[in-house]
């Protein structure tokens, strides 16, 4: 009995220590890995795939949630629906909640990105890497800049999503196997947080709220269908699962064509929306006069400072926003943000100062509970065809999302 009790305590201590151990499924001894590019997925994951009705080389999708520092791998089952097969605790991401806007702002991307086989970097100095594809068509249409933003190992980030080497070895293997199976593009969905009604209310005063409402449309589409949405861009906005009724091409900066939504999907989203609206009203009552304070990168690092002891200097984990942030009164939030803005301006004005990303101002008014129309990015990972050139008039020779939806 004592031995069992001691073992339980030891396991709990292990789960609560370190940067990634709580969700670390990758326990490979890297010193024994002979070929990291072809390292197979561990047997326990292959067993889970079999139990869930997944083929080893079936399509995948990647989801990121900054606030809780989580990365998820979703994989297609034999019924063409996706199910979660693995999740990881992100070791480090820089900046704060909100999209990347320009080179040097230290922000990690938010949005919908298509990853091709060319995005895999087997020779990264950060063990292994997958380029996020930033900037995509939406980013480019909105004048956003930046390059070489990766998912990589080494647990050190400056605009990237950094994992442990063991984790990125596994994530790389998921993508590699999917590409070998014929998947043309893997969809990466990067969100600031899980877009529940409660989270939307908590963040309703953030200056990025309108952008997040747009992303939420794509989030909702996946929650309803459990398939990566078809993503396009027009009028500098993302649009999801929309069919151009006149056969026109989507132009990122141009006017949106006449569009329609598959009837079955419209009905499913309406039902989902009713539940969301009710939950939003409850959350508004629960958090009346309160809003979320989004911590700075320095504040997130402070909560995990102890984990750096005894590690190499390059090891730079960041805690989650949930650990370092908090709910505050609206007046207090406005005061905190005003101070942060003043500090940022002072730092930028100092001689030889490093550019500081501008603070995100609170929104002047709370936006509507239900997201407005439309969002952005790329091809459906279910399409096993060569990627379509951006902004061409030629139709893509692949089954669109709505045909899969209608069939199933």
Residues acting as catalytic residues:
152, 160
Give the number of other CB atoms < 10 A from CB of residue 330: 15
Are 237 and 128 within 8 A, CB to CB? Answer: no
Burial of 230 (0-12, 13-18, 19+ CB in 10 A): buried
d(CA 26, CA 30): 10
CA-CA distance, 27 to 167, in Å (whole number)?
8
Judge whether 185 and 383 are in contact, CB under 8 Å. Answer: yes
Helices (H), 73-208: 137-141, 165-180, 197-202
CA angle 398, 225, 199 (to 5 degrees): 130
Taking only Cα atoms into account, the Rg of the chain, rounded to an integer number of angstroms, comes to 22
Closest-CA residue to 232 (of 90, 78, 51, 111) = 111
Biggest CA–CA distance in the chain, Å, is 73
Residue 227 half-sphere exposure, CB side, CA atoms within 13 Å? 25
- Cβ atoms of residues 151 and 88 within 8 Å: no
Quick check: helix, strand or coil at residue 3?
Answer: helix
Beta carbons of 55 and 258 less than 8 angstroms apart? no
């Amino acid at each position: 009995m004592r031995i069992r009790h001691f073992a339980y305590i030891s396991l709990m201590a292990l789960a609560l220590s370190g940067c990634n151990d709580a969700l670390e499924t990758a326990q490979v001894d890297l010193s024994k890995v002979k070929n990291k590019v072809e390292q197979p997925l561990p047997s326990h994951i292959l067993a889970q795939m079999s139990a869930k009705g997944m083929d080893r080389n079936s399509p995948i999708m990647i989801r990121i949630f900054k606030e809780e520092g989580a990365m998820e791998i979703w994989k297609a089952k034999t019924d063409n629906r996706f199910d979660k097969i693995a999740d990881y605790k992100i070791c480090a991401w820089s900046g704060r909640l909100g999209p990347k806007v320009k080179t040097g702002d230290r922000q990690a991307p938010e949005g919908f990105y298509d990853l091709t086989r060319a995005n895999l970097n087997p020779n990264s100095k950060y063990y292994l890497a997958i380029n996020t594809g930033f900037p995509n068509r939406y980013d480019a249409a909105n004048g956003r800049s930046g390059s070489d933003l990766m998912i990589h190992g080494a647990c050190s980030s400056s605009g990237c999503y950094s994992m442990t080497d063991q984790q990125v070895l596994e994530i790389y293997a998921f993508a590699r196997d999917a590409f070998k199976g014929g998947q043309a593009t893997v969809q990466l969905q990067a969100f600031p947080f899980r877009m529940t009604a409660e989270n939307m209310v908590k963040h309703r005063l953030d200056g990025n709220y309108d952008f997040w409402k747009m992303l939420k449309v794509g989030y909702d589409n996946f929650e309803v269908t459990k398939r990566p949405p078809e993503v396009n861009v027009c009028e500098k906005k993302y649009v999801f699962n929309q069919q151009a009724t006149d056969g026109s091409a989507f132009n990122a900066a141009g006017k949106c064509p006449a569009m329609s939504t598959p009837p079955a999907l419209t009905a499913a989203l309406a039902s989902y929306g009713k539940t969301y609206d009710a939950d939003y009203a409850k959350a508004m009552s629960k958090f009346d006069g309160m809003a979320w304070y989004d911590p700075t990168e320095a504040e997130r690092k402070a909560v995990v400072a102890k984990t750096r002891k005894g590690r190499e200097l390059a090891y730079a984990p960041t805690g989650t926003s949930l650990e370092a942030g908090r709910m505050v009164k609206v007046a207090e939030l406005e005061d905190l943000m005003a101070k942060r803005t003043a500090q940022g301006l002072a730092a930028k004005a100092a001689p030889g100062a490093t550019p500081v990303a501008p603070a995100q101002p609170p929104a002047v008014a709370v936006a509507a509970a239900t997201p407005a129309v439309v969002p952005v990015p790329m091809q459906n990972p279910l399409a096993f065809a060569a990627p379509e050139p951006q902004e061409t008039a030629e139709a893509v020779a692949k089954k669109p999302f709505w045909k899969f939806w209608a069939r199933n």
